[in-house]
Amino acid sequence: MATDTPVTSPASEAGVRTDAPDEQGGLERKMESRHLTMISLGGVIGTGLFLSSGQTIHQAGPLGAILAYAIGSLLVYLVMLSLGELSVAMPYAGSFHLYARRFIGPGTAFTVAILYWLNWAVALASEFTAAGLLMQRWFPGSPTWAWSAAFIVLVFVLNILSVRLYGESEFWFASVKVVAIVAFILIGLLAICGAIPITGADGARQPAPGLTHLTEGGGFPNGALPVFSTLLTVVFAFSGTEVVGVAAGETRDPGTAIPKAVHTTVLRLAIFFIGSIGVMAALIPWHQAGVETSPFVLVFQSIGMPFAGDIMNFVVLTAVLSAANSGLYVSSRMVWSLAQERMIPHALAKTNFHGVPVWAVACSMAGSLLALLSSVVAASTVYLALVAISGLATLVVWMSVAVCHIRFRRQWVRDGHRAEELGYRAPWFPLVPVAALVMCVGALVLVAADPAQRSTLLAMVPFMALCYAVHYGVAAWRKRRGARDGGRVA
């Protein structure tokens, strides 16, 4: 558990460091820029885009969905700019809670780390379940649990052998998704223009839709209010981009790789998400879009692509495994970082001869398996509470990043440095972190105002209070024990 002992790393003593050793606490810097970019993409592009995006169009309308994703892209860009500056200055694994510990307080650092770990543990459980269900298309009647178990072993092995193997596997997992999205956008644009014929459900050829579907109902057929409720879902869909900060501690030349990953990741996400939503909205009437069938499958089937369902099942399975791969990596590094800072037992920070924190990986996998078990035996109680608590974890992390960026820059100036001395400087300071903080607070207000989402906030607030209480309670106990031991020695 956490203590009130100040961080003694170079970043804590000088406020910042613009270089980092090749190893830190046993971890090794073996990932390259291409790995970092694909890891971030892999953590974001998942079933939300491939399966649930049709529901976004159905609720918010064609233009409303595009607007919601554009606003989400802007928020992600602002957060990533702030995180990029912090990660280049202080490239440590599990960076979020280290920044919070230095610039906000140890209680907040502990709470942020626990929330973020829980978020990925619960996500891992759902990804393994989804992977098992997806295999039913090809192997009907086979036990879902057996497939889930096989994928659990696969992801675990990829994470414990070496960080480079993890980065390489995630690169190829994410590449499959990227290729599928690019193909979808290109084919969709050709179909919109009439270069590729479209057939209806009755098999008859239909005229090229052009942009007519985009303006149906004025683009906002259900009004403007659903855009705001959908915006919250969109913000959560972009969670995972912050993986760049976690992986910074194991990246070669973070001063070059991180800024490149920040800009390329956000640009590609904006193109992929907004481009895909735009193509869907143009080809599928908003009132026909939903969650029963993937919009990708609907579009591919309308142009007569053979095996469209099987192709998308493979792509979605890859997306699920990619998300699980990223989730186990991120959650294990958060455990390692907490152990390294003595906030939890230090034994969890031990690494193997490949520089992989095996015990932290095993701890995170155990957490995901417990969440998976709760989804089976206590789905309406324990698991529901876990999902609610983890639902807003990303917003809390993003808010902490924005606050840390503001305080970091102030500390940098107080220490007699100039902004021009930073290895990477986020533009438009302090507008960037302030705008990110305001948008995150706005998203929380939307949660409080939405009756369907309010229970999520009501579950998270007492859990955060419990985290603070545990941290400061254990810190006080350790302080008393230290004083008592010291008295005996004297």
Beta bridge partners of 28: 23
What b/e string do you get for 8-43 counting C-beta neighbours within 10 Å, with b at 16 or more? ebebeeebbbbebeeebbbbbbbbbbbbbbbbbbbb
Q: Please report the pLDDT score of residue 107 as a whole number.
A: 92
- Return the residue matching tokens 């709470």: 111
**Whole-angstrom Cα distance, residue 276 to residue 271?**
8
- Return the residue matching tokens 């390692």: 336
Find out whether 463 and 110 touch, Cβ atoms under 8 Å. no
Q: Please report the pLDDT score of residue 291 as a whole number.
A: 56
Within 10 angstroms of residue 258's Cβ, the number of other Cβ atoms is 28
Three-class secondary structure assignment of the chain: CCCCCCCCCHHHHHCCCCCCCCEECCEECCECHHHHHHHHHHHHCCHHHHCCHHHHHHHHCHHHHHHHHHHHHHHHHHHHHHHHHHHHHCCCCCHHHHHHHHHCCHHHHHHHHHHHHHHHHHHHHHHHHHHHHHHHHCCCCCCHHHHHHHHHHHHHHHHHHCHHHHHHHHHHHHHHHHHHHHHHHHHHHHHHHCCCCEECCCCCEECCCCCHHHHHHHHCCCCCHHHHHHHHHHHHHCCCCCHHHHHHHHECCHHHHHHHHHHHHHHHHHHHHHHHHHHHHHHCCHHHCCCCCCHHHHHHHHCCCCCHHHHHHHHHHHHHHHHHHHHHHHHHHHHHHHHHCCCCCHHHHCCCCCCCCHHHHHHHHHHHHHHHHHHHHCCCCHHHHHHHHHHCHHHHHHHHHHHHHHHHHHHHHHCCCCHHHCCCCCCCCCHHHHHHHHHHHHHHHHHHHCHHHHHHHHHHHHHHHHHHHHHHHHHHHHHHHHHHHHHHHC
Q: Please report the pLDDT score of residue 412 as a whole number.
A: 93
**Whole-angstrom Cα distance, residue 234 to residue 49?**
10
- Return the residue matching tokens 């810097």: 29
CB within 8 A of 34, min separation 6: which ones? 171
**Whole-angstrom Cα distance, residue 320 to residue 310?**
15
Domain 10-22+29-342+352-478 has CATH 1.20.1740.10: yes
**Whole-angstrom Cα distance, residue 122 to residue 389?**
10
Length of the chain in terms of residues written: 490
- Return the residue matching tokens 């891992």: 124
- pTM comes to 0.83
Q: Please report the pLDDT score of residue 283 as a whole number.
A: 82
What's the Cα-to-Cα distance from 309 to each of 205, 236, 294, 312, 361, rounded to whole Å? 21, 26, 9, 5, 34
Delimit the domains of the chain by residue range.
10-22+29-342+352-478
Q: For the chain, how far is it from start to end, CA to CA, in angstroms?
A: 27
* Residue 283 CB burial class (10 angstroms; 0-12, 13-18, ≥19): buried
| Whether residue 430 has a cis bond before it, omega within 30° of 0 | yes
Within 10 angstroms of residue 125's Cβ, the number of other Cβ atoms is 26
- Give the mean pLDDT per block of 10 residues along the chain (490 residues): 36 42 52 68 70 77 86 88 88 77 92 89 85 87 89 90 77 84 87 79 69 77 78 75 71 76 79 86 75 72 80 86 85 86 84 82 90 79 77 88 95 90 89 94 85 81 91 86 60
Q: What backbone phi and psi angles, to 5 degrees, belong to 21?
A: -70, 165
Q: Please report the pLDDT score of residue 29 as a whole number.
A: 57
Residue 442, token pair as written in the block: 């706005």
Q: Please report the pLDDT score of residue 78 as a whole number.
A: 92
Residue 135, token pair as written in the block: 């295999």
